[in-house]
Amino acid sequence: MIDFQAFVDDFAIGLVAADAERPIAVNRKSGQPFQPGIGPHGETQAIKLILEKMQASHPAKYGHVEFEVPYPDKSLRKCDLSITHNGNSLFIECKIFRMLGDNGKQDNNRLKYILSPYPKHYSALTDCEKLRQSGFAGRKAVLIFGYENGVWPLRPVVDAFEIIVIHQGNIGQRYSATYTGLCHPIHISGEVFIWEVF
C-alpha cells in the first residue's frame, strides 16, 4: 500500500529532478517555446515527466503506472493517474495551480480549476465527487501541485479547497512536500498536496 507522505516526498524530488533537465514546453496556441523548466508545462506533460523520475528512482514502487485511465462507468471520463503496488491500486486525479504564466503575467482563470463547483470546469473540487462515485476498485486521491511566490502563495487556495471539500464529503488528512530552486525565473518554488478521497 502506498504511503501518502512518502508519495508526495517522492513527487517533489521527481519534480526537481525533471526540472533539472531544463525541459521546454511549447505554447499550444502560438507554437512558441516557453522558458526552460517544468513550471510552464501542462498538467499531463508535467505529471509524466515527474513520474518518469519517480519510476527511475523507485522502480519497485512505481513500476506499474497508467495515465488517462477510463472510469468504470464507461463514460468518456478518464482518471489522470493510477499506480499499482503489491496488488493495491491508487487512482489519482491531479491538478496544477499557478497564478502566473511563463511571462509573469497574472492568470485569473486558474482558481476555477481548483475551487469551481461546476463539473464543466473539471476542478479539483468536482474531481473528489467523481472519484467517490467512480466505482474504481482501489484507493482514490486528489493531488494538487503548483508554483508560488510572495504575492501568490499556494496555501490559501489549498486551505479554501479543503474547507469546501470537507463540507461535501469525507477526505483524509492533508499530506504535503515542498520544492524550491527550480530553473524557471517565475516558477521557482512550490508545493505538492494529496488527500485520500472516501
Taking each helix axis as running N to C, give the angle between helix 4-20 and helix 43-57, from 0 to 180 degrees, rounded to the nearest 10: 100
DSSP code of residue 150: S
Q: What is the number of alpha carbons within 13 Å of residue 196 lying toward its C-beta?
A: 13
**pLDDT (0 to 100) of residue 167:** 86
Local structure of 108: helix, strand or coil: coil
Give which of 84, 16, 83 is closest to 49, Cα–Cα.
Answer: 16
- Each residue's pLDDT tens digit in the chain (198 positions)? 889 999 999 999 999 999 999 999 999 999 999 999 999 999 999 999 999 999 999 999 999 999 999 999 877 899 999 999 999 999 999 999 999 999 999 998 999 999 999 999 999 999 999 999 999 999 999 999 999 988 999 999 999 999 999 988 789 999 999 999 999 999 999 999 999 999
Per domain, the residue ranges of the chain are 4-197
